[in-house]
Amino acid sequence: MTTLAIIGGATVWSNSLHRGDGPAGSPRSETITVDPKTGQVVDNETGLTAQALPPVSPLSDAEVLKRCEPADQRMRHSATDEAGPVDARWKVVLKSGDQQRLQALFLSPDRSVVFGCTMKSSTQIDSMGRFPTTSTDGSPKAVLAKAMIPATGVTHVLATLDGESAPRQALVAEGRFFTLGPPTWRETYEPVDGAPTIRRIRAYDATGKRVYDWKYEPPAAEQPVPPDVKIKTASPIEPRTLLTKDPDTGKPLAVVPFSPLSDEQVRAECKRPDDAYFDGPGNGLPKPGPGSDPRVDAAGRISPDWVVALKVGSAERFTALVVSPGQNVVAWCYRDGKTAYDYTRSGVHADGTFGDPAKDLFRNWAMVPDGVAQIIVDLPTGPVRAAISNGYYLWGTTGGSENFKKVRVRGYDADAKLVYDKKITVDAS
């Protein structure tokens, strides 16, 4: 027999599993054992005793909602996120911390979205995010965000962190959601190789059998690209027939507007997250780890010598692509309002392109294929005619969310003849 108690929405086990060889038919290394007297969890793979559970927050659900609701209000929800704003209808499935620090997970009424909220104090937000619990293309974002196990009936979760030998226990709720508590590990353990802090996550059912095992796998080492390899963009083609309707359906095409900001203004705005990129932790973005492309740093900070290749959106909210003087690095920059930014920079591949977007995990921007004069992107909200400039295209103000969707992208020549047709996972926000 096993017994459990629900405390603050978290599953806390007692007298659950006896020491022994684990569930019948399961190798001992794939099981855990819970001491019936102390409640300690032993990882039978290593023989190590897991660290204690993170504390359940003493705050009431109402207080947790009061603190976290403003964080959700600050977020721009994606067009396909129909769960609505976080309010009293959302269930607090997990809460960990003390009177000040807080890590909470909310589940939407339709169970389609998990909202994560981390507070440094009663009034200071550390981080927040909305993560879908399902996906038609790869793992759900709630799994990638390490808030949900892609299995049911989970009662224990162990996480191995960088720099720690004994695994940490997580609070578990509803057989799949989990949290390690307020993320003090971000302050204590700083990865030295660019890898994530959490290196492994294992989940176990009520019998102690392992039902899920995720391990961080470092990316395969790539041959460095010589610094003299330059970006090769497609030759610009002026359309003789401008598409205003979808050739397949006849629906009107939404048109992505170019930003009215001057190139000088775009560089000035993008320099803020760019400086944070170079200045490192505590100022915004982490510094690249060892093994990263040296050209990305060698390109230097954004300056007047960088060329604004494409800018879309408005004066307040825009996305831009800025190319380095050496023509081998592109910086992608998104700004929403005066203080919210997304930013990254990438070095060109050995063939002078940034790879086949149809093979990538996701895209925030892309290069125009050869022979293409106009591009239609079939977003969930409807077809849009992408903005094209200097060999690059954008289907909107990408950034500010994790709303990645696999969509159809069509390219047409100067006479509006279809010459390119692929499925690409894009930021569909």
- pLDDT tens digits, one per residue of 243-287: 999 999 999 999 999 999 999 999 999 999 999 888 865 444 555
Q: Look at residue 311 in the predicted model and tell me its pLDDT.
A: 98
Say yes or no to pLDDT of 409 above 80: yes
Clarify whether residues 43 and 133 are in a common domain: yes
Asked if residue 223 is part of any domain, the answer here is: no
Same domain assignment for residues 78 and 188: yes
In a domain, residue 228? The reply is no
- Straight-line distance from the first to the last Cα atom of the chain, in angstroms, rounded to the nearest whole number: 49
Identify whether the C-beta of residue 144 lies closer than 8 Å to the C-beta of residue 201: no
**Bigger pLDDT: 280 vs 340:** 340
* Nearest residue to 295 via CA among 268, 324, 269, 317: 324
Q: Are residues 189 and 51 in the same domain?
A: yes
What is the model's pLDDT at position 16? 31
Strand partners, 147: none
Residue 237 lies in a domain: no
Model pLDDT for residues 15-68, shown as the tens digit of each residue:
333 333 445 556 888 999 988 888 899 999 999 999 999 999 999 999 999 999
What's residue 361's pLDDT? Answer: 73
Separation between Cα atoms, residue 323 and residue 391, nearest integer Å: 12
Residue 240 to residues 243, 413, 415: CA-CA distances in angstroms?
10, 9, 6
- pLDDT score, position 257: 97
Residues 52 and 103: beta-carbon distance below 8 Å: no
Cα–Cα distance, 306 to 301 (Å, whole number): 9
269 lies in the same domain as 171: no
Asked if 262 and 384 sit in the same domain, the reply is: yes
Torsion from C-alpha of 304, 307, 309, 310, nearest 10 degrees: 0
Residue that finishes a domain, picked among 167, 186, 215 = 215
Residue 262 lies inside a defined structural domain of this protein: yes
Residues 121 and 20 in one domain: yes
Over range 373-402, report the average pLDDT: 93
Q: Which residues of 375-394 are buried (b: 16+ CB within 10 A; e: fewer)?
A: bbbbbeeebbbbbbbbbbbb
Distance CA 403, CA 63 (A): 29
> Confidence class of residue 1 from pLDDT cuts 50, 70 and 90?
very low
pTM of the model: 0.57
Inside any domain, residue 240: no
DSSP string covering 37-87 = TT--EEETTTTEEPPPPPPBP-S-HHHHHHHHHHHHHTS---TT--S-S-S
What percent of the chain is predicted at pLDDT more than 90?
65
Q: Give the pLDDT of residue 22.
A: 45
Q: Identify the pLDDT of residue 285.
A: 52
pLDDT of residue 337: 77
Let me know: does 64 contact 92? Beta carbons within 8 Å.
yes
| Residue whose entry in the numeric block shows the structure tokens 């909220």 | 117
Strand 382-385 to 254-255 pairing:
parallel
Query: What average pLDDT score do residues 230-243 get?
Result: 95
Which domain-ending residue is among 215, 246, 266?
A: 215
Residue type, 411: G
State the pLDDT at residue 15. Answer: 31
Residues 190 and 127 in one domain: yes
Whole-angstrom distance, CA of residue 391 vs CA of residue 198: 39
In a domain, 220, yes or no: no
Would you state the pLDDT for residue 99? 95
Edge-to-edge strands, sheet with 198-204: 168-169, 156-161, 198-204, 210-215
In degrees rounded to 5, what are phi and psi of residue 423?
-100, 130
pLDDT over threshold 50, residue 399: yes
* H helix intervals, 336-414: none
Average pLDDT over every residue of 320-340: 91
CA dist., res. 66 & res. 80, Å (int): 26
**Domain boundary residue among 215, 235, 265?**
215
- At residue 9, does pLDDT exceed 50? no
- Can you tell me the mean pLDDT for 169-194? 77
Band (97; pLDDT cuts 50, 70, 90):
very high
Mean pLDDT of the chain: 86
Q: Compute the chain's Rg from CA coordinates.
A: 24
Look at 22 and 332; give whichever has higher pLDDT.
332
Q: Map residue 73 onto helix, strand or coil.
A: helix
Same domain, 260 and 353: yes
Report the domain count for the chain: 2
Asked if residues 270 and 320 have their Cβ atoms less than 8 Å apart, the reply is yes
Across the range 119-130, mean pLDDT stands at: 89
Q: Which of 214-218, 286-290, 359-363 has the highest mean pLDDT?
A: 214-218
Please report whether residue 229 resides in a domain: no
Strand order in the sheet with 91-97: 91-97, 102-107, 113-119, 125-132
Residues of the domain holding 14: 3-215
Average pLDDT of the segment spanning 210-226: 87
> CA nearest 2: which of 128, 148, 140, 156?
156
Residue 150 lies in a domain: yes
Do residues 75 and 123 both lie within one domain?
Answer: yes
Question: pLDDT at position 298, please?
Answer: 93
pLDDT of 13 above 80: no
| Banded pLDDT at 291 (limits 50, 70, 90) | low
Are residues 19 and 160 both part of a single domain?
Answer: yes
Q: Are residues 196 and 59 in the same domain?
A: yes
Please compute the mean of the pLDDT values over residues 105-116 and round it to a whole number: 95
Same structural domain, 264 and 314: yes
Contact between residue 256 and residue 264 where contact means Cβ atoms under 8 Å apart: no
Q: What is the reported pLDDT for 20?
A: 36
